[in-house]
Amino acid sequence: MSEPVSALNGASFEGLVTLQDRGPTGMITLRGDLAAPVMAKALDKALGLTVPDTRRVQPAKGVSKGQAAWMSPDELLLILPYGQVSSVCANLSATLEGTHHLVADVSDARALITVSGQDAHVREVLAKLAPVDLHPAQFGPGDFRRTRLAQVAGAFWMPEAGQINVICFRSVAQYVFDLLGAAADPAASVDYFG
């Protein structure tokens, strides 16, 4: 089996913020009735996760490195180490057998870019590209948004102040990275979040 390769090959950029390709990252689309007890059981058994609240990311309990992001009323995106995807998919499918659900490995179809630096600058860079209110009172650690990044679909969340993780389709990863780089050019600073 070949080794996974990131769409951005470890690209990085330094400007108002630091951009960093996160490399191959495990991502699983999980669809079904998020309120069903069997869904909670499946998430807990597979990754020690709970169903996140609307527009939130829920980190795993204990030593697991997974996260569950709310994508829609019947969809979660599970983010985990790349090497765990096959076993987690099998575990979820087995637990959810007999219920209406979808478990799909989308790891190789996505790219993950970290935007980090001074919190105000991180917010400013994303605010230039997405129609989302990024004021600290409206978007903070644990918040997740599925939206647009200029002309393409994307999603992002804030694990902590001063960092936003951006997910996009692999096919537009270079475009998104370049957009983020242009928005992070020091000459483009508007100091909106001051």
Neighbours of 179 (CB within 10 A): 21
Reported as a pLDDT band with limits 50, 70 and 90, residue 194 is confident
Q: Which domains, ranges and CATH numbers included, belong to the chain?
A: 12-23+109-186 (3.30.1360.120), 26-107 (3.30.70.1520)
pLDDT tens digits, 42-98 = 999 999 999 999 999 999 876 568 999 999 999 999 999 999 999 999 999 999 999
Pairing, β 144-149 against β 152-160: antiparallel
Average pLDDT, the chain: 96
The tens digit of pLDDT for each residue in 133-159 reads: 999 999 999 999 999 999 999 999 999
pLDDT at 63: 56
User: What global pTM score does this model have?
Assistant: 0.95
Q: Cβ(91)–Cβ(102) under 8 Å?
A: no
Strands 101-105, 75-80: pairing kind: unpaired
Radius of gyration of the chain (CA): 17
